[in-house]
Amino acid sequence: MERSLSPAARRRGVARFAQVWARAIVGASYPATGLVDVEERLLGLTERLVDALFGEPFAAEPAAAVGAVVAEHTFAAADALAATIRVCGARLLAELRLDADDELAGRVAALQGALAHGYTRALRERILAGQDSIHRAAHLATDARFRTIFNGAAIGIVLADAAGRIVDANDAFLRMLGVAPHRVHGRALHEFAHPEDAAGLRDAHAAQRLTGPAHLRTELRFAGPAGATVRAELTTSCLRRADGRGEVQLSMIVDVTERHRLQSELRRQARHDPLTGLPNRTVLAERVTELMSAEPDRRLGLCFIDLDGFKAVNDSLGHDVGDRLLVAVAGRLTGALAAGQLLVRMGGDEFVILLADTAGIDDVTATATAVLAALAEPVRVGDQALSIGASMGLVERPATDGDLADLLRAADITLYQAKDAGRGRWEVFDAERNARQVTRHTLSTMLPGAVEQDQFTVVYQPIVTLGEQSGVGGVGGVGGVMVGVEALVRWRHPRFGLLSPEAFIGLAEETGQIVLLGRRVLELACRQAARWRELCPDGVGAPYVSVNLTARQTREADLVDQVARILDETGLPARLLQLELTESALMSAAGEPMRALDDLAAMGVRIAIDDFGTGYSNLAYLRRLPVHTLKLAGPFVDGFGSAHQHDPDGEKIVRMLVELAHSLRLTVTAEGVETAAQAERLRQVDCDSAQGYLFAPPLPPGEITRRLRATPVGAPPAAPSTVSTLPAPRVKGAATSRFVS
């Protein structure tokens, strides 16, 4: 197509159109720049449109590119497109000063279409790009927010992948362990755990990824900065894929090191003296209790130390110097300790050294010597040299003798004896001396209150069989079956400590208190025996309890009623109660046997003669009395000695006594058995049962319970052979109770 349009006319026309077009666009939209710039850019675009308009052959496509450029440079796009289409239709040919023939009008329309197409396509791209970028911005902003939370969190957060490899860890975690981020990525959390906790954590995490649980909560240690240990509470949550396998493990780690430190510090403070840092009374009590509840043959020693002249230092030089002196002394004493000894500050200027598993008092005196030597040199406090001495009370005994309070009381009493004797020295606890010091007078005034206040406790010494097989499996033939126990009373005196019966039974007998006391003991013993019986299925193997009766008790008018009532109340079968009487108690003042015994025997209660052989041993009355058991006194047993100090005559007497007893259908229990040789010979002379330290000391009831539980259920109480030779029902329980062990 040929049109007569001079280059100059075309240039002017293009410029005019660009101006009109620019005004239309700028007025309709928000352009990036002002009119001037827009006009300039549209000049070029108009050239391209006019080129296309006159193109041969005609092609509208170039207008699409023009539309794209317009879209790129305008903002309120829809308005700009409308303005452009309108201006093209109305003004393009007019500004070129051309008449709109059909063909030209058709070409303009085609150009408009292409322009709109190009514009729209470019606009669409721009909108999509804009949406992409704002979504991305929102995503990044959210991400940044979570990262801020992640890193700002006070707790450690670690994210691991499906293989347990760490993909992200926050600042708190890195700080907690003192590691750099690059050392964490790709490794597993358990690699940072304390070596002892690592395997456990690895397995738990692996298991969680496979099967669960969704949340795992544990406390463990991590290897912290510079070799420190970090205690942490760990919660790991596992996010799962559709197939159920763990996809992400999110662990939260809270550092609880400080809390632990505080707790253990508090625990330490509760157990330590703040001034000297030494363990306190609480620790001593724990250790002693530990020793007491261990095997019965353990022994312990205690050295109770009180500084001489400390009060003078405190008063004259002040508390500060006094305190520093105590710290220095604590240091000296610590230096004097042998392995395994425990030094405790009791308070004030009192210290205690506890020795475990002592062989005898010599161990304790050696410690006391070391203490005196440690304090021989004056102690320097600041620029003062202070001479300080110590007085000590020493105790050494089986661990099971009494409790901590008794032990301390014994040591304390002894300490004061040492002080009285002139300070700077020690005294060894002497039970007899102690008992003597406890005057009859004070005791007699206290006895009634003691019965009321229930200051009496009962311990039990096992009575074991000596039959053929009784020793099998036991150490040196010691392991006979426990058939009974002798109840032995103790007075837990608030001031004098644990008093043994020698100290008060005679007194109680004289004052008549024995009646109440005896009833109390009988009650306690029967109740306890009934409990033991319940432990034994059908009562098989239940031990009898042997309770001592004094002469005065046997003469009580209502003795039989009392026994009957107690058996009834406690539910103990009469056959499991044995009453022990001395020979003298068996007889009335008139020399007649006590009538009450017949009644008791008729009820089924067993009667034993205690200390048989120490009195007149009037064998004649044995036949007339309802006696079931003879208890052989210590002196007979002593004669059995060892192989070296064999006493053939003594052995003959015992053999005869046993034979006599058996012929009268009595059983024989030997008391005070201390060596395996004694036990063996007693067995050879056919003595039925025995008691003594060889088998067991008097034990607290709990210990008897423990032994009963440890014995196979239904173990026969005696060897079958022995049973068959004896018609008397001796197996069922002889009762031997004495107030004196």
Partner 1 sequence: MDELPGWAAGVDVDRPSAARMYDYALGGSHNFAADREATQAVIAAFPDGPLVARSNRLFLHRAVRFLAAEAGITQFLDLGSGVPTVGNVHEVAQGVNPQARVVYVDIDPVAVVHSRMLLADNPLATVLHADIREPASILGSSEVTGLLDLSRPTAVLMVTVLHFISDGDDPAGIIGAFRAATVPGSYLAVSHVTADERAEQVHGAGKVYESTPTGVTPRSRAAIADLLAGYDLVEPGLVYLPSWRPDEKHGGIDPLADDPSRAVALAAVGRR
**For binding to partner 1 (CB under 8 A), which residues are involved?**
23, 26-27, 29-36, 75-79, 126-131, 133-134, 136-138, 140-142, 144-145, 148-149
Q: Residue 149 or residue 270: which is nearer to partner 1 going by CB?
A: 149
- Nearest CA to 609 out of 734, 723, 504 is that of 734
DSSP 279: B
Cα separation, 416 vs 507, in Å, equals: 27
**Minimum CB–partner distance for residue 20 and partner 1 (Å):** 13
**Minimum CB–partner distance for residue 159 and partner 1 (Å):** 20
Q: Give the helix/strand (H/E) hosting 600.
A: helix 595-603
Give the other-Cβ count within 10 Å of 493's Cβ.
20
- Nearest CA to 574 out of 549, 604, 608, 532 is that of 604
- Nearest CA to 253 out of 183, 184, 207 is that of 184
Q: Residue 138 or residue 472: which is nearer to partner 1 going by CB?
A: 138
Q: Residue 126 or residue 707: which is nearer to partner 1 going by CB?
A: 126
Residue with tokens 């009450």: 596
Cα separation, 526 vs 545, in Å, equals: 7
Cα separation, 518 vs 568, in Å, equals: 17
DSSP tally for the chain: helices H, then strands E: 28, 21
Q: Residue 116 or residue 524: which is nearer to partner 1 going by CB?
A: 116
Q: Residue 23 or residue 281: which is nearer to partner 1 going by CB?
A: 23
Q: Residue 9 or residue 127: which is nearer to partner 1 going by CB?
A: 127
- Token pair, residue 382, equals 């600041």
**Minimum CB–partner distance for residue 86 and partner 1 (Å):** 16
**Minimum CB–partner distance for residue 36 and partner 1 (Å):** 5
Q: Residue 34 or residue 212: which is nearer to partner 1 going by CB?
A: 34
Q: Residue 144 or residue 228: which is nearer to partner 1 going by CB?
A: 144
Cα separation, 110 vs 103, in Å, equals: 11
Burial degree of 137 (CB within 10 A; 0-12, 13-18, 19+): exposed
**Minimum CB–partner distance for residue 327 and partner 1 (Å):** 52
The three-class DSSP label of residue 130 is: helix
**Minimum CB–partner distance for residue 152 and partner 1 (Å):** 8
**Minimum CB–partner distance for residue 91 and partner 1 (Å):** 17
Q: Do 21 and 81 touch, CB atoms closer than 8 A?
A: no
**Minimum CB–partner distance for residue 66 and partner 1 (Å):** 19
Cα separation, 131 vs 137, in Å, equals: 10
**Minimum CB–partner distance for residue 81 and partner 1 (Å):** 12
Q: Do 528 and 699 touch, CB atoms closer than 8 A?
A: no
- Token pair, residue 225, equals 């900065």
Q: Residue 134 or residue 167: which is nearer to partner 1 going by CB?
A: 134
Cα separation, 208 vs 313, in Å, equals: 67
- Nearest CA to 412 out of 367, 360, 457, 346 is that of 346
Q: What angle do CA 377, 382, 388 make, to 5 degrees?
A: 30
**Minimum CB–partner distance for residue 154 and partner 1 (Å):** 15
**Minimum CB–partner distance for residue 321 and partner 1 (Å):** 56
Q: Residue 29 or residue 669: which is nearer to partner 1 going by CB?
A: 29
Q: Do 374 and 367 touch, CB atoms closer than 8 A?
A: no
Q: Give the helix/strand (H/E) hosting 28.
A: helix 7-28
Q: Residue 22 or residue 292: which is nearer to partner 1 going by CB?
A: 22
Chain centroid, CA 674 distance in Å: 40
